[in-house]
């Protein structure tokens, strides 16, 4: 609050010389106090940082002890933000599956792989869910709005597709 007063006294029209000298002395005193305060090493405590919990890694098919399976999808359900792939469940179904989705024209190629995955792939590793005799995975994926034809990535066979929204 002292600085604006000093500036007004220093540059104000019609101010006498002693007011201007007093303003210069005030500004010099403020700058000196700032330099002394900065050099004393008194620094306020940093604000506490919230603990950040690292996300738990999703187990990959390479870490699981289940046998390699290449399920053939029976059905694909599409929405604006998710692709759900369903196939017949078997005893000893893996906990996770690697899924690769490829778009070409209006075809959505689907590859599902359970078990150890060898090589470098652009696969999404997702948990396998079981509902009665059906196993399924849900992959978060935004799709363009048009008529998709889902096909098995290995055989090229068409997979029945249900579109929701």
pLDDT digits (tens, 9 = 90+) for 129-160: 998 889 999 988 888 777 888 899 888 899 98
Count of positions (residues) in the chain: 165
What is the pTM assigned to this prediction? 0.58
- Mean pLDDT across 56-71: 62
Neighbours of 103 (CB within 10 A): 12
- Mean pLDDT across 25-51: 71
Indicate if the pLDDT at residue 24 is higher than 80. yes
20 SS3 class:
helix
Structure tokens at 27: 């500004």
Indicate if the pLDDT at residue 53 is higher than 90. no
């Amino acid at each position: 609050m002292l600085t604006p007063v000093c500036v007004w006294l220093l540059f104000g029209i019609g101010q006498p010389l002693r007011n201007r000298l007093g303003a210069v002395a005030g500004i010099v005193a403020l700058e000196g106090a700032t330099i002394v305060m900065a050099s004393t090493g008194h620094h306020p405590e940093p604000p506490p940082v919230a603990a950040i919990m690292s996300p738990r890694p999703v187990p990959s098919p390479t870490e699981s002890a289940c046998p390699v399976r290449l399920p053939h999808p029976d059905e694909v359900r599409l929405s604006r933000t998710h692709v759900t792939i369903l196939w017949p469940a078997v005893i000893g179904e893996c906990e996770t599956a690697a899924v690769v989705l490829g778009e070409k024209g209006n075809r959505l190629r689907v590859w599902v792989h359970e078990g150890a995955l060898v090589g470098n792939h652009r696969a999404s590793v997702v948990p396998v869910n079981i509902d009665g005799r059906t196993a399924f995975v849900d992959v978060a994926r935004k799709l363009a709005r048009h008529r998709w034809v889902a096909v098995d990535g290995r055989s090229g066979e068409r997979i029945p597709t249900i579109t929701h929204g």
